[in-house]
Amino acid sequence: MNDDGPSWDSLRQRLTKAVFSPAGSAALERAIDQAERLLGPSWPRRQFERKGWWPSEFNLLAFHAAVLPQFLALVMRLEEAAEEPTFATVLRGLKRGVTSTDWRHALLQLEVSRALRNSGTTIIFEPEISGSRNRADLMITPSEGSPFLVETTSLTRADVDQAWEEYEHTIWQAVTAFELRHNVRIAVELIDHRNEAETTTWLATIETTAANSEHEVQRVESAMGRAEVRRAGSPMPESTFVGAVATRDGWRRLGRALQAKARQSEGSLPVWLRVDALDGFFQFTEFATLDWAERVERVATNLREDLAGASHLAGVVLSSGPAVAVGATDSTAENQTTRSTSGCGLRRLISAHTVRETVIVALRDDLTDQRERWIAAYATEPDWLSQDLSNQARPQLATFLAD
C-alpha cells in the first residue's frame, strides 16, 4: 500500500516481484481484474477512507505466503457467488465499505457457499425466515433432501483479553527502555496484574535498581512479579519476559453467542449455526489439552446444554477458522478425523502453514444427511482450491511461484 492509499494498480505493481513466475503473474493480473470488476475501480480507496483498513487478502498479497491461496480463493468465490442474484445485497454492502466484522461475515457466507455447493444444490443468500422479520445468511436446498438455513458468525477476542495483552506489552516496553537507558539486561516474570499505582511503583523500583546496579545480579520482587537486573555481559536466562498466567472460561462467551444466534434464527426451517471461534478457544483454552474424542464430547455436551429447547436448530459447525501453524506442510502429519456418536472432529492442513480445526455436532437425529454433508465438505477442504483453479482454467497454486 503506497502513501496515497490502496488501489488496484498498486496490487498490479507487486506482480513484478521475483517471487512470481510469468504464468503466476499473468493469472494474478487476471484475478485482480476480476476483483476490480466485481468490487469496482474505486473500492480500495473508498474502503480505506471510509473504514480505515483494507482486508489482508489484498493488503498482504505478495508479502505473506499464506495470503496467495486466500486471495485466489476469495476472487473465485466472489465470482461464483455473483452469478446468484441474491448475492447482490451482500455485494452492495461490500462495495460501500465494511468493518472487519462485516468482512469476516461475508467471507464466512462465501465459505459456506463453496463448502456446500454441488451439482443440483441451490444456494440463496440473505433469505427471509418464515414468521420472522430477520433474515438468515444462506438457504441450502440440496437436490436430494430437505432445505435448511445457515446462520454464520465469528467470535473475536474479548475486550478483557486485549486489555490483558496491552498491559503486558506496556510493561515490556518500559523494561526495554530501562535496558537501553542504563546498559543492563532485565529478566521479568509477571505473577499478577495490579492497578496503575502499584505498577508504576514497581517499575520505578526496577529502574532505580538498573540505574544503580553495582552487582552482577540484583532482584526486585513484589506481589505483581519478579525482575532480575543484570549488568551488560552477564549470562541471561532463556526467557527474558514471562507474562502472568491468564485463565478464562473458554466456553461461556461462545455459548452466549450461540444462544443469541439461536434466538435470531428461529423459524419453520431447520437451522445450522456456522461459527468461527477466533478468540483462541481452539488454541489457548483447556480445549487444546484434550484429545480429539474428548474435544468432540465436550463441545457436544456444552451445545446440548446451552441450546436446549431450540428445536429449530439442526446442529452447529464450530471452527478455529484458518489458523497459522508454522512449519505445517505435511498433510499426513496434520490431518485428523475423529467420529463418535456425539459428533465429528476434523483437523485439516488447508494450505502450507495453515490449518483448520472443526467440530460438527448434529442436534437432531432426523437430519443426519445434513450432518454428513457438512462433514464431507470440510473433510475435503484441502482440495477446494485445486478443484476451483482447475474448474476455472487457472494454473495450479505451485506454478504461481518462481523456481
- Separation between Cα atoms, residue 16 and residue 67, nearest integer Å: 17
- Separation between Cα atoms, residue 296 and residue 339, nearest integer Å: 8
Long-range contacts (CB closer than 8 Å, 24 or more residues apart) made by 57-64 = 58/6, 58/11, 59/1, 59/6, 61/11, 61/14, 61/28, 62/14, 62/15, 62/17, 62/19, 62/20
Long-range contacts (CB closer than 8 Å, 24 or more residues apart) made by 253-257 = 253/155, 253/158, 253/279, 254/155, 254/279, 254/281, 255/302, 255/306, 257/153, 257/155
pLDDT < 50: residue spans in the chain: 1-2
| CA dihedral (73, 75, 81, 83) positive or negative | negative
Task: Provide the grid cell at 132.
Answer: 420472522
pLDDT value at residue 162:
66
pLDDT value at residue 213:
67
pLDDT value at residue 119:
74
Percent of the chain with pLDDT over 70: 94
Strands 323-324, 138-141: pairing is: unpaired
pLDDT value at residue 341:
93
Our CA angle for 125, 127, 130, nearest 5°, is: 165
pLDDT value at residue 246:
58
**pLDDT tens sequence across 169-216:** 888 888 888 888 888 888 888 888 888 888 899 899 999 999 986 777
The amino acid present at 178, given as its one-letter code, is F
CB 161 within 8 A of CB 283: no
**pLDDT tens sequence across 264-282:** 999 999 999 999 998 888 9
CB 134 within 8 A of CB 264: yes
- Separation between Cα atoms, residue 372 and residue 2, nearest integer Å: 47
The amino acid present at 300, given as its one-letter code, is A
- Separation between Cα atoms, residue 312 and residue 216, nearest integer Å: 68
pLDDT value at residue 66:
85
| CA dihedral (193, 194, 195, 196) positive or negative | negative
pLDDT value at residue 284:
80
What average pLDDT does the structure give for the chain? 90
pLDDT value at residue 245:
63
- 227 - beta bridge partners? 188, 220
Q: Please, which residues have CB within 8 angstroms of residue 182's CB and are 6 or more apart in sequence?
A: 207, 210, 211, 213
pLDDT value at residue 190:
86
Task: Provide the grid cell at 156.
Answer: 473475536
Other beta carbons within 10 Å of 336: 12
Task: Provide the grid cell at 227.
Answer: 525482575
- What's the length of the chain? 403
**pLDDT tens sequence across 229-242:** 988 767 766 557 78
CB 280 within 8 A of CB 237: no
Nearest to 28 by CA among 352, 387, 389: 389
Task: Provide the grid cell at 31.
Answer: 484475478
- Separation between Cα atoms, residue 69 and residue 61, nearest integer Å: 10
